[in-house]
């Protein structure tokens, strides 16, 4: 099966700096396409998006391959997502 052409679009937006964290990828390509291409169960994929630090390196490498970017680029997007998630949780705790 041919790779979805929207991965190339994601690549372009990463290069432009418009994709800053992992979740931004899904503004350009549906989650369903990604989890199927990665061979991940939907429920596990949903959990991974909530806790991106639980992605395996193999899964991140596969995603980098699909988007045609370096592995470090994907890892940096994951770190940015983790930082974003932790800031949201800290704000939520301080409001209690």
Q: Give residue-wise pLDDT tens across range 57-68.
A: 999 999 999 999
Asked whether residue 95 carries a pLDDT value surpassing 80, the answer given is no
pTM for the predicted model, two decimal places: 0.87
Question: Which of 56-69 are b and which e, b meaning 16 or more Cβ less than 10 Å from the residue's Cβ?
Answer: eeebbebbbebbeb
CA distances to 6, 29, 52, 78 from 14, rounded to whole Å, are 12, 13, 18, 13
User: 55, 28 in Cβ contact below 8 A?
Assistant: no
Chain segment 41-51, per-residue pLDDT in tens: 999 999 999 99
User: 67, 11 in Cβ contact below 8 A?
Assistant: yes
Strands (E), 8-55: none
């Amino acid at each position: 099966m041919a790779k979805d052409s929207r991965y190339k679009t994601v690549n372009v937006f990463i290069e432009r700096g418009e994709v800053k964290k992992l979740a931004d990828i899904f503004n350009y390509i549906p989650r369903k396409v990604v989890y199927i291409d990665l061979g991940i169960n939907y429920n596990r994929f949903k959990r991974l998006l909530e806790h991106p630090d639980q992605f395996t390196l193999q899964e991140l490498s596969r995603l980098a391959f699909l988007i045609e970017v370096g592995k470090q680029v994907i890892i940096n997007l994951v770190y940015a997502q983790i930082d974003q998630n932790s800031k949201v949780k800290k704000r939520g705790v301080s409001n209690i």
